[in-house]
Amino acid sequence: QGPALLEAVGASTSVPLANGTWATYANLDLAASAPALRAVADRVNTTLQWYASVHRGAGYLSQVSTSLYEAARLSLGAFVGARPDDEVLITRNTTDSINLLARSVPGRILVLDIEHHANLLPWQAAAGGATVLNALPTQAATIAALEDELAVGDYALLAVTGASNVTGEILPLAQVAEIAHSHGARLFVDAAQLAPHRPIDIAATGVDYVALSGHKLYAPYGAGALIGRIDWLDDAEPYLRGGGAVTNVTTRGAEWQRGVARHEAGSPNVIGAVALATAAETLQAVGFAALQAHEAALVGRLHQGLATIPGVRVARIWEDSADRVAVVTFALAGLEPGFVAAYLSAEHGIGVRDGRFCAHPLLRKLGLDQGAVRASVGASTTGEHVERLIAAVRWLATGQPIREYEVRDGAWTL
Ligand code: PMP
């Protein structure tokens, strides 16, 4: 089990198997969405009793709601090591954050071909346009190629992923930031997959903007954040038009606020923001060292177990990446990823993701056009989940009987 404070809701949910028995759900799809932490669920429950209109009412509950909402911003800023003058915009998720920022970039954007579609399509639609550079077989060569392109092109922004949602690989952000800045570009980091696994310090690493999603960070759906420099955003058209984003409205037009309010028209998602901030605070209180140690043991065993199974290929982008978060994508020779995932679910109660992971160019590059299977681990993952997956994949690949497990009282036991 992971650190006690990181206990997730629904950790022992049972799911039906094809043979009519039940198994404890082995959720190995945390990279898609991670179950809420108990601390988050408790805080949401408490907050539900206290909320009322934010920024719009003088009543006591409105004041409480407004402070909770603003406190959530402060927490999220602290979580990513924001500079004092950075702003925290509450958004719906990473996709929303990137779409918002893309409207404000005053020039061309450089991006790699390994990105999640959320960190590609909004930039391509931005006014200044985007160049998509091919990632090369090593990180060193890829970073050198980025530097060459930044030197010859006139880029306002370099956008990279903090951790790949397909392979978990991590780029050295401080080095990338330095290169971007030396050529007059800012750096945006898609931290949807990084934030749940590694501490982020944008001030120390020189990252200008970061985006993250609550539902990948052990909070429920509906809230995310965009954190970073406000000047471009102050000059941009409001992302949403409506109440709260204006200083004065006439029948002919409006004067728009500056700062975060400019882009947050409409009644905000207070509960979502509180949930996201609570998840961030809890992860910080536990400390990433404990979480990383928990995940490293599990993901190490997963890599080692998969490596012993013939016909299994684990995807990676770079030969020299030094660090990877707990996301493992693999293909099984001769077996459809959709079949593998359906088998794991129906026969073993294991949840994984299959497909092309919203990263079609990357899957093509990896020779996985037909898709692959992704297992991802986190705070709520146990050693038993990982062993169950390895045993089931081994059975599929080799027909070797599953001896490590038996079904007892309708549940998988070691
Ligand atoms: N970027 C990465 C790296 C992701 O993994 C995801 C989610 N799969 C996203 C962006 C988009 O996140 P969301 O769906 O929460 O907007």
Residue 57 confidence (pLDDT): 76
Question: Given CA atoms 69, 289, 382, 376 in this order, what sign does their dihedral have?
Answer: positive
Q: Would you tell me how many other CB atoms lie within 10 Å of the CB of residue 332?
A: 20
Q: Check pocket membership of 205 for ligand 1, CB cut-off 6 A.
A: no
pLDDT higher than 70, residue 1 = no
| Interatomic CA distance for residues 122 and 100, integer angstroms | 9
104 pLDDT more than 70: yes
Residue 315 CB partners (closer than 8 Å, separation 6+): 166, 167, 329, 330, 331, 366, 368, 372
At 403, the pLDDT band (50, 70, 90 cuts) reads low
Q: φ, ψ for residue 95 (rounded to 5)?
A: -55, -45
Question: Would you give the distance in Å from CA 276 to the centre of its chain?
Answer: 12
Question: Hey, what are 330's tokens?
Answer: 């693999």
31 C-alpha vs ligand 1 centroid, how far in Å? 9
Pocket of ligand 1, candidates 121, 269, 358, 374: which has the most ligand atoms within 8 Å of its Cβ, to mutate? 358
How far, in Å, from the CA of 86 to the mean position of ligand 1?
A: 22
408 Cα: distance to centroid of ligand 1 (angstroms): 38
Is the Cβ atom of 99 under 6 angstroms away from ligand 1?
Answer: no
Q: Where are the domains of the chain?
A: 4-30+287-413, 40-286
Give bridge partners of residue 327 from the DSSP assignment: 376
Closest-lying ligand 1 atom to the alpha carbon of residue 163: 3
User: Per-residue confidence at 2, pLDDT binned at 50, 70, 90?
Assistant: low
The whole-number average pLDDT for the span 75-104 is: 98
| Nearest residue to 285 via CA among 297, 274, 277, 293 | 277
* Per-residue pLDDT band at 396 (split at 50, 70, 90): very high
- ipTM of model: 0.99
118 lines ligand 1 (CB under 6 A): yes
Distance from Cα 219 to the centre of ligand 1, integer Å = 14
Cα 177-197-411 angle, rounded to 5 deg: 160
Q: Which atom of ligand 1 is nearest to the CA of 224?
A: 15
One-letter amino acid of 25 = Y
Q: Decide: 65 in ligand 1 pocket, CB within 6 A.
A: no
Residue whose C-alpha is closest to residue 15's, from 341, 348, 393:
348
Average pLDDT, the chain: 94
Q: What is the pLDDT of residue 10?
A: 80
Query: What are the distances in angstroms from CA 161 to CA 117, 179, 264?
Result: 11, 16, 25
Which of 88, 358, 379, 393 does the annotation list as catalytic? 358
Least confident of 2-16, 224-238, 254-268, 340-354: 2-16
**Summary count for the chain: helices (H), strands (E):** 13, 19
Average pLDDT (165-171) is 98
Q: Residue 411: which pLDDT band, with cuts at 50, 70 and 90?
A: very low
pLDDT one-digit tens code per residue, 40-63: 999 999 999 988 888 777 899 999
- Per the document, the length of the chain is 414
What is the percent of the chain with per-residue pLDDT over 70, rounded to a whole number? 96
Query: What sign for the dihedral angle of Cα 220, 10, 300, 344?
Result: negative
Domain 40-286 sits in CATH at: 3.40.640.10
Contact 190, 211 (CB under 8 A): yes
| Nearest residue by C-alpha to atom 6 in ligand 1 | 192
Over 80: is that where the pLDDT of 232 sits? Answer: yes
- Cα–Cα distance, 9 to 22 (Å, whole number): 19
Q: How far apart are the first and last CA of the chain?
A: 15
CA 311 to chain centre: 29
Which pLDDT band holds residue 404 (cuts at 50, 70, 90)? low
User: Predicted confidence band at 254 (pLDDT cuts at 50, 70, 90)?
Assistant: very high
At the topology level of CATH, where does 4-30+287-413 sit? Aspartate Aminotransferase, domain 1 (3.90.1150)
Q: Is 190 in the pocket of ligand 1 (CB under 6 A)?
A: yes
Q: Work out the average pLDDT over 312-340.
A: 96
CA of 96 relative to ligand 1 center, distance in Å: 10
Q: Which residue has the tokens 């404000």?
A: 104
Secondary structure (3-state) at 192 = coil
Six token digits for residue 399: 């027909």
Q: Could you tell me the distance, in angstroms and rounded to a whole number, from the CA of residue 193 to the centre of ligand 1?
A: 7
Residue 406 has pLDDT above 50, yes or no: no
Ligand 1 atom at shortest distance from the alpha carbon of 96: 16
Residue 131 has pLDDT above 60, yes or no: yes
Segment 277-299, tens digit of pLDDT: 999 999 999 999 999 999 999 99
Decide the pairing of beta strands 372-376 and 327-332: antiparallel
- Active-site residue, 279 included: no
Report pLDDT for 240.
96
Cβ atoms within 10 A of the Cβ of 53, count?
15
Residue 218, class by beta-carbon neighbours within 10 Å (0-12 exposed, 13-18 middle, 19+ buried)? buried
pTM over 0.90: yes
Instruction: Return the closest-CA partner of residue 146 out of 133, 128, 155.
Output: 133
**Ligand 1 atom having least distance to the Cα of 358:** 8
139 lines ligand 1 (CB under 6 A): no
The pLDDT of residue 56: 72
**Structure confidence by residue, pLDDT tens digits, 300-321:** 999 999 999 999 999 999 999 9
Does pLDDT of 407 surpass 70? no
126 DSSP assignment: S
Residue 398 class from Cβ within 10 Å (0-12 exposed, 13-18 middle, 19+ buried)?
Answer: exposed
Other Cβ atoms less than 10 A from the Cβ of 258: the count is 13
